[in-house]
Structure 1
């Protein structure tokens, strides 16, 4: 029995061959595959996104967003100094967004080599406001090249902010646009000093660069004018009248702000020495609004060919200077000096004095040496003063230490303000006389302040560095074995060491070698030893027209004399004075280097022969040589020498296979060049054959 097949539905194909069947189901199969792949892809996408999100969270978790200060380098990269002291690398592209010294918000993340990298995200504060530089050209555009050790990039000067500047001009600028947004900073010109060769350029540029104030605000001058009108210290009944004493001033012939005068008379067992000091605090007291300005200025700035006085001329010269034949208020230190040079007693007085004469150092020195008798009318005070000086100097040599006297060199400038010639000179006996009397008065002022628990200002000199005590001990064991047990941090130990250095039993330059172990003098509100002077306490009081420290000492001395508490000086006050002193020192040094560089270039062009010099400082990188004839210095960089030099600090030498250079040794040098883009440092080269072994 056969069964007939059931007829297919009307919507289905009939009698399909295998090929036809495959073709018919392919679209369905492809659709199913696509559907399955889509589901799989969707699942993979969800996994990948989840992984990416997890990775992103992990990456974000290792990032750190903190504030930091940008630190520049000589290269294009820099570092972000975090508040906890860490230094994080800043790539060159990121450094374009900031200036060195900027405080910024950074994102710290791992770098390619797992080293942390800082990305600058936001500017918090930028201390760079004004700066000095030189105008340079690139194509048609003008830029300023800042004279900043940490900032190597140029800043664009847009046309509207050029103030008539020309290529090559030295300028004072201000930041016009910070680079935080696009890395393209701009500046505007505030002042044009002119091109190289402009008379006075070196001094003016250095003053502006370091913030040395050259004028007084009109409001301050009006306040001073009112004080000068309303105060008459000569009418003060408490002042001691010393106008009958034949005071004389001894100073440079051109000095106008004369702030001291001297008188001495002989007694049966020594002398009475009077040191009269100009009294500007008679007009500007502790409550004066001018006092913060005085402390900020810190001192008069003496440039070659320029002087920036600490006090206005109306006060320093017209009202207070101890001018010849003018009655002036003064603070007088009266000292009883024994035949041995010991200061037996002293006292301070607010007084009125009248200087009989303004004598020059040169004229007094000629008189004291017997070369001329033009000052015979002042013989009595001068002879007594010279005798006091010899006694004080002898006592200091016996009980303390005498300072090293460096050979002086006097610069003579031409009409354009450049060095015409340099003449060597020695310190005159008249200068030593004045110095001895000033030191004596200063010692008394320090003792007086300390005895009354005054808050300073004192000048302390700690002597040897505490952080190099082990090295100091090794130095003594190697070179002064008899003093290896001496305590270099006591006055007695310090004095013994330096006295031994004056007569060393060694061929090494021990006195010069020991300088690297010493500290600098500092200002203090508490009494502290001055090792260099070998004194338990020291300060200065004899130049209140020129030094803010002396001005403050006068205020404290007067507080004691009027039975008030001498607590006018505080830490912030001395910090302000210290900052002002550093600024003046930096400015005068800058100007001197620039003038010296011009002189050396001119001399080298006229005569390229080597200059006899002496090595005055030596380190692992090279040495500083000072030219004998002129006292000018330059650096010899031995890092660039084909030979490798090894540095021996115990022998103070730099030695290669064929050459050897030692501290204090003579050396002939030639000029290699001047760092005109930096601080005008002279670069020297040793002459051929120098230092040969």
Structure 2
């Protein structure tokens, strides 16, 4: 038995050994191979060998000992698991011999996890399944999982939508409290809430939206004045019938957005509210929040007011109907445009061109590009992909919504805390690269820095006028930060505005719904809620999760759609560049895929500033370039499409103009 002195010496020795180690903390990051990394707080990556990666999952928070090999390269040894964020996940059920596993669908994880016999929930081979971790690999490198639910067979119609909802843990059912509250609402609720509101039912408001839209958030009315216009933007008012803190409000803020899955959207609010009671339907009384704006003859916004009202929309017109009317107003009767609505549309068109010119002169306009809509068949696969071109009616709605949102942002600045949409321009780590390219083009006319909105706006305007190749306008667009929520009114660089928010889609977007709450608080002189940084991040992450789910479902369907077309050649546009190749988008259907230079007969060098790939023979790939491609392969695990160049890319004087990737405003 050791005496007290010996024990003390042993403790001291252990402490000395521990103190001599370099122990750091970070987050595990996987790779497409078996090795991984631990990312430290400052962004530095420490290599983890395949054996060490067996002890952890991507996303785990760990302590590691940093060591060096004989060549002086650093690597990490797992010391301690602090926290594992992987609790629940989706994947595919696989059988190897007598052992059953789940092929985990988690970014950066390339391993299978064993499923014990009593945890298999009758899953069959190749089923897609919902699982939870029941044993972490930190002790023995042998994790285990339990099947919570069988999502379905890979061949089940609609499995793509069901799977991404499960994988991203998206709420898709209504809880009993929210349903009970929904069922208590009726047309009588609308009548009861009209008291104390302004009565605007005599004004011929009109709604312009897609022909298939039923959750109509906005309606427009405009009249001319001596020095410009008075625009009234009516926004659906769900907060009028959904009490603060209620089950329905909590549901809306958990979901945060309607998710427009192809073929079957997932609504943020129950349909009886979003498409009936609160939708600004024509020929019925509806509650609205009005943003009334004085606009001068140059398109500048003047005095405005935001107030509660009741409206009675005269018509719901599609974008195509409005565009057709504006091209031929004399055919209004044939287009079923009422006599009291026709002059409103004509005035809106004039106002829109003025608003748009003001933004072009004083802020920034986003570039337009075609949108694509997936049409599904009875088997819930893609039957066709339609190109949706922007027309004059889209401009009307877009400019009126931007004007109203600008007023809402100004309105919120009087509060101690608001909810704004901010955009910081070009990523900080890429600003020096962009400035280097700019100086090579414009010398002393180049802004000194890109941390100020005015400098960013100047840079973009210079780029819009520059016709030199490679296109600097597109180079800038590929370096943008994401737009983010903020409780303070920071600038929106992408729009060239000092402050911006959105409140014009409260039936579809949780942040707009929340802004309505804030506006009502200010109108009624009540104390407003203050969102913490963590709450803001949570709301933002819910939006990102919804986007990822839609993108994943669409990409899965697109892989299926294009697989039989492997013998076809497509015209495509280069939309992104990396050192390994380029991402291209097929012009006729919007499907994107990667063209790798590895399989090409010659080597290409990458210029990270100009974003070009150039061979010794001066063959070159650049942003916005037109190329002919055909399908090479599909990575079904990652749902990634690989293209190959079908013909030598032609060098063109002017690449096809691509849209800016500044964050969308609506």
Q: Same fold (TM over 0.5)?
A: yes
Counterpart of 2:589 in structure 1 is: 630
Counterpart of 2:658 in structure 1 is: none
Counterpart of 1:429 in structure 2 is: 392
Residue 416 (1) aligns with residue 391 (2): no
| Aligned partner (choices 241, 245, 249) of residue 207 of structure 2 | 249
Deviation at 1:160, TM superposition (A): 3.2
The alignment of Structure 1 onto Structure 2 pairs a total of residues equal to 637
Is the 2:133–2:146 contact (alpha carbons within 8 Å) kept by the matching residues of 1? yes
Is the 1:364–1:375 contact (alpha carbons within 8 Å) kept by the matching residues of 2? no
Alpha-carbon distance between aligned partners in 1 of 2:19 and 2:528, rounded to the nearest angstrom: 58
Residue 686 (1) aligns with residue 651 (2): no
Counterpart of 2:4 in structure 1 is: none
Is the 2:478–2:576 contact (alpha carbons within 8 Å) kept by the matching residues of 1? no
Counterpart of 1:375 in structure 2 is: 336
Post-superposition CA distance 1:500-536 (Å, at most 9, x none):
2222142331211122443222211111222222221
Counterpart of 1:353 in structure 2 is: 311
Is the 2:433–2:609 contact (alpha carbons within 8 Å) kept by the matching residues of 1? no
Counterpart of 2:634 in structure 1 is: 674
Gaps spanning 5+ residues in structure 2: where? 1-9, 653-666
Deviation at 1:232, TM superposition (A): 5.8
Deviation at 1:277, TM superposition (A): 0.7
Deviation at 1:478, TM superposition (A): 0.9
Post-superposition CA distance 1:146-189 (Å, at most 9, x none):
11122211122334333332222222222233334443333222
- Change in 2 beyond 3 A, CA 1:91/1:278: same
Post-superposition CA distance 1:600-648 (Å, at most 9, x none):
11211xxx14322121111212111111221211111224545332112
Is the 2:263–2:375 contact (alpha carbons within 8 Å) kept by the matching residues of 1? no
Counterpart of 1:168 in structure 2 is: 126
Alpha-carbon distance between aligned partners in 2 of 1:501 and 1:431, rounded to the nearest angstrom: 25
- Change in 2 beyond 3 A, CA 1:508/1:192: same
Post-superposition CA distance 1:349-376 (Å, at most 9, x none):
1111122222222222222211842334
Q: Secondary structure at the match of 2:260?
A: strand
Q: Secondary structure at the match of 2:276?
A: coil
Is the 1:661–1:691 contact (alpha carbons within 8 Å) kept by the matching residues of 2? no
Deviation at 1:463, TM superposition (A): 1.8
Q: Secondary structure at the match of 1:302?
A: coil
Counterpart of 2:616 in structure 1 is: 657
Alpha-carbon distance between aligned partners in 1 of 2:141 and 2:28, rounded to the nearest angstrom: 15
Post-superposition CA distance 1:242-262 (Å, at most 9, x none):
111111211122222111111
Post-superposition CA distance 1:374-422 (Å, at most 9, x none):
3341323222322322322232233332210012333322221222222
TM-score by length of 2: 0.87
Q: How does 1:72-471 map to 2 (within 5 A)?
A: 72-79=30-37, 90-103=48-61, 124-225=82-183, 234-235=192-193, 237-288=195-246, 290-370=248-328, 372-373=331-332, 374-377=335-338, 378-450=341-413, 452-471=414-433
Deviation at 1:332, TM superposition (A): 0.6
Question: Looking at CA atoms only, which structure, 1 or 2, has the larger radius of gyration?
Answer: 1
Alpha-carbon distance between aligned partners in 1 of 2:301 and 2:45, rounded to the nearest angstrom: 55
- Change in 2 beyond 3 A, CA 1:657/1:235: closer
Counterpart of 2:446 in structure 1 is: 484
Counterpart of 1:13 in structure 2 is: none
TM-score by length of 1: 0.84
Alpha-carbon distance between aligned partners in 2 of 1:365 and 1:108, rounded to the nearest angstrom: 64
Counterpart of 1:18 in structure 2 is: none
Q: Secondary structure at the match of 2:343?
A: helix
Is the 2:426–2:476 contact (alpha carbons within 8 Å) kept by the matching residues of 1? no
Deviation at 1:456, TM superposition (A): 1.6
Q: Secondary structure at the match of 2:499?
A: coil
Structure 1 residues 305-314 or 229-238, which shifts more? Answer: 229-238
Q: Secondary structure at the match of 1:508?
A: coil
Deviation at 1:555, TM superposition (A): 1.2
- Change in 2 beyond 3 A, CA 1:137/1:429: same
RMSD over equivalenced CA pairs, Å: 3.2
Post-superposition CA distance 1:456-495 (Å, at most 9, x none):
2111222233444433332221122362246544444333
Residue 542 (1) aligns with residue 501 (2): no
Counterpart of 1:591 in structure 2 is: 553
Q: How does 1:460-609 map to 2 (within 5 A)?
A: 460-481=422-443, 483-485=445-447, 488-604=450-566, 608-609=567-568
Post-superposition CA distance 1:18-71 (Å, at most 9, x none):
xxxxxxxxxxxxxxxxxxxxxxxxxxxxxxxxxx99999986774578876544
